[in-house]
DNA sequence: ATGTCC
């Protein structure tokens, strides 16, 4: 079922995403947008190619670092520099253990790292980093949008039915998401249940019948909870939100999409690459799905800020703070109270994010139900890409990297047969992919979380007006602003800000998804199951 | 990515 237009070595399952070519007027490159942020891997002498789909990053600390990226993936030298700086944290850990009074624990270490093909520069640590440590926890290796992730639901609707109702759906979803239509009622007791015990906790505690809710959602949440439900001892860090005004009738936070690259999208299965797995997962051609990309809004930021404040305050006097600002927790007794506060707030934020993706999916269900008939939507997966996983004193941190377990990692659960669903969204207007993971140890069983930014934020704000207009003519984008409304469109200041933000997320600000997905497939990290194309995008 | 400060 692979696209015959793709040429490539027979060994690498070739993927030809139709994203760049299929929507005939879609801008695939932007001559006016700034270039020069990325190079091909062979132009960066710090990288060593070890295979068709693999590079290594030799470093003075001798930490094994594998990068999954074929020759066609553009890489950002600034992000390579950032990755090298991160590895110096190994030295920080040594000095911190020595300088911490009474530290007698095992030597804290960075044992392994991997970069996914979408990696690009982040705030201190590249987005697309997988980091394994022992006896040390790095909040910044998760990122401040704790449990940002993807949720995919498969509906019983066909693309034709949705396409015929797009105008009405657009109005309906605008109302649901941006005009007070979501009306998600949560009592303080329910908010606390969500933050402490996650979505299963909330739904099993006796869910209110929100629009779109199905009783089976509780079972689904339990079945699929895995790492997304983090029990927390307390939700004290978020007492304000739990008890905030609005309470039982309306919540102004939950149900928000967020900004940046976050979205909720109606898509359909355009191509099947792995018929057996696609059939098992309900991803048959023409099937409509809802895809949600969102995080913990302000909660993760608060958790992260709390941790960093504690780390700075407890930093040993006389030990210089690392230049890159990456501060680790040691697993010693002295840092335990602060670490506990962070772990609880982290768990609260992670639970909020997964719950919020559920509520965003409910809004999509409600919109579909009102315009197209019962979508009978069932979650395929909720995949966190900013999170850490703990196994004793070993931590696997993923920042902008998504789990891609294989049969072994998924044994005993609903994904044992085909491996873990890996949701890789393309840039706006482009195809997205569902893949299945193979548990490849070279990436610590991780895949990328998207196409990856190619042009830094801010830089991409310049130029690209013609391309943005072409994009907006081609694709249906629902935003808080109706740019086609004559009154709104006359507010030049408002429209300028809106266009600036949208341009930062435009297709030309991102890498092509094709070589990225081909790297995952060829490298044996995850193989494509189905390709999805957008019908309607809701942008926060 | 976030929501807010000057």
Instruction: Please name the nucleotide lying closest to A505, CA to C1'.
Output: B1
- What pLDDT is recorded for position A207? 62
A175-234 pLDDT, tens digit per residue, is 999 988 888 888 888 999 999 999 988 988 766 778 899 988 988 888 776 656 788 999
> Which residues, at least 6 apart from A144, have a Cβ–Cβ distance to it below 8 Å?
A123, A300, A301, A304, A305
Please report whether residue A87 resides in a domain. Answer: yes
Averaged over A262-291, what is the pLDDT? 98
* pLDDT tens-digit series, residues A387-403: 999 999 999 999 999 99
Interacting residues of A143 by C-beta distance below 8 A, sequence separation 6+: A122, A123, A125, A127, A300, A304, A386, A399, A400
pLDDT at A33 over 60: no
* Residue A430: predicted pLDDT: 92
Q: Which of A488, A475, A455, A264 is nearest to A357 (CA)?
A: A264
Mean pLDDT across chain A, nearest whole number?
A: 89
User: Is A495 part of any domain?
Assistant: no
A304 CA, B2 C1': Å apart: 12
Q: How sure is the predictor about A7, in pLDDT bands with cuts at 50, 70 and 90?
A: very low
Residue A102 marked as a ligand binder: no
Q: What percentage of chain A has pLDDT greater than the value 70?
A: 91
A265 annotated as belonging to a binding site for a ligand? yes
Q: Is residue A167 part of a domain?
A: yes
Q: What are the pLDDT digits (tens) for A45-90?
A: 999 999 999 999 999 999 999 999 999 999 999 999 999 999 999 9
Residue A483 in any domain: the answer is no
Q: Give the E-state strand segments of A363-456 in sequence order.
A: 378-384, 386-391, 394-399, 401-403, 421-424, 432-437, 446-448
Span A114-161, pLDDT tens digits: 999 999 999 899 999 999 999 999 999 999 999 999 999 999 999 999
pLDDT, position A332: 92
- The model's confidence at residue A22, banded by pLDDT at 50, 70 and 90, is very low
Closest CA to the C1' of B2: that residue is: A298
Q: Could you give the CA distance from residue A97 to residue A29 in angstroms, rounded to a whole number?
A: 49
Which 3 state secondary structure label does DSSP give A264? strand
Rounded distance in angstroms from the CA atom of residue A388 to the C1' atom of nucleotide B2: 20
Q: Is A427 a member of any domain?
A: yes
Q: Give the end-to-end CA distance of chain A in Å, rounded to a whole number.
A: 35
| Residue A461 domain flag | no
Domain of residue A422 covers: 48-454+510-539
The rounded distance, in Å, linking the Cα atoms of A70 and A402 is 19
Backbone angles phi, psi at A366, to 5 degrees: -65, -40
Q: DSSP of A451-499, one letter per residue? A: S-BSS-TTGGGSS-HHHHHHHHHHS-EE-SS-TTSHHHHH-HHHHHHHH
Distance from CA of residue A371 to its chain's centroid?
29
Give the residue from A204, A243, A239 showing the smallest Cα distance to A220. Answer: A204
In a domain, residue A352? The reply is: yes
> Which nucleotide's C1' is closest to A253 (Cα)?
B3
Q: Is residue A449 part of a domain?
A: yes
Rounded to two decimals, the pTM is: 0.92
| Count of domains for chain A | 1
Whether any strand B atom is under 7 angstroms from the Cβ of A258: the reply reads yes
pLDDT digits (tens, 9 = 90+) for A222-266: 877 665 678 899 999 999 999 887 656 678 788 999 999 999 999
CATH number at residue A380: 3.90.1860.10
Rounded Cα distance, A172 and A364, in Å: 10
């Amino acid at each position: 079922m692979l696209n015959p237009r793709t040429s490539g070595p027979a060994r690498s399952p070739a993927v030809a995403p139709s994203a760049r070519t299929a929507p005939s007027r879609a801008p695939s490159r932007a001559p006016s947008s700034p270039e020069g942020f990325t190079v091909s891997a062979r132009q960066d002498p710090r990288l060593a190619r070890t295979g068709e789909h693999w590079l290594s990053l030799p470093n003075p600390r001798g930490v094994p670092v594998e990068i999954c990226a074929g020759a066609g993936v553009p890489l950002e030298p600034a992000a390579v520099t950032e990755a090298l700086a991160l590895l110096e944290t190994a030295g920080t850990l040594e000095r911190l253990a020595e300088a911490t009074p009474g530290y007698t624990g095992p030597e804290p270490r960075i044992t392994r790292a991997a970069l996914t093909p979408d990696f690009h520069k982040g705030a201190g640590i590249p987005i697309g980093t997988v980091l394994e440590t022992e006896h040390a926890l790095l909040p910044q290796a998760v990122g401040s949008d704790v449990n940002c992730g993807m949720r995919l639901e498969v509906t019983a609707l066909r693309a034709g039915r949705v396409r015929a109702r797009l105008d009405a759906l657009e109005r309906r979803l605008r109302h649901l998401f941006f005009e007070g239509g979501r009306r998600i009622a949560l009592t303080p007791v329910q908010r606390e249940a969500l933050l402490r015990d996650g979505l299963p906790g909330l739904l099993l505690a006796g869910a209110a019948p929100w629009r779109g809710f199905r009783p089976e959602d509780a079972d689904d949440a339990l079945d699929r909870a895995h790492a997304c439900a983090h029990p927390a001892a307390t939700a004290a860090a978020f007492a304000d939100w739990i008890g905030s005004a609005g309470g039982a009738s309306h919540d102004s936070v939950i149900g928000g999409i967020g900004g940046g690259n976050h979205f909720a999208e109606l898509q359909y299965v355009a191509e099947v690459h792995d018929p057996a797995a696609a059939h098992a997962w309900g991803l048959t051609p023409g099937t409509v799905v809802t895809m949600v990309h969102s995080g913990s809004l302000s909660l993760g930021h608060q958790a992260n800020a709390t941790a960093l404040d504690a780390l700075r305050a407890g930093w040993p006097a006389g030990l210089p703070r690392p230049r890159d600002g990456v501060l680790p927790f040691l697993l010693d007794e002295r840092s335990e109270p602060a670490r506990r506060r962070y772990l609880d707030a982290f768990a609260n934020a992670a639970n909020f994010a997964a719950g919020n993706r559920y509520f965003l999916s409910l809004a999509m269900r409600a919109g579909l139900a009102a315009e197209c008939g019962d979508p009978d939507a069932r979650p395929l997966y909720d995949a966190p890409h900013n999170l850490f996983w703990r196994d004793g004193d070993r931590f696997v941190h993923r920042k902008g990297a998504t789990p891609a377990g294989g049969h072994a990692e998924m044994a005993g659960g609903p994904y044992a047969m085909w491996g873990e669903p890996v949701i890789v969204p393309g840039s706006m207007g482009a195809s997205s992919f569902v893949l299945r993971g193979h548990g490849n140890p070279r990436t610590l069983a991780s895949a990328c979380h998207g196409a990856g930014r190619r042009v830094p934020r801010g830089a991409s704000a310049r130029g690209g007006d013609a391309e943005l207009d072409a994009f907006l003519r081609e694709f249906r984008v629902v935003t808080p602003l109706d740019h086609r409304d004559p009154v709104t469109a006359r507010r030049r200041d408002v429209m300028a800000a809106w266009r600036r933000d949208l341009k930062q997320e435009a297709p030309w600000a991102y890498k092509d998804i094709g070589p990225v997905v081909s790297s995952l497939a060829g490298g044996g990290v995850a193989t494509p199951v189905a390709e999805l194309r957008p019908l309607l995008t809701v942008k926060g």
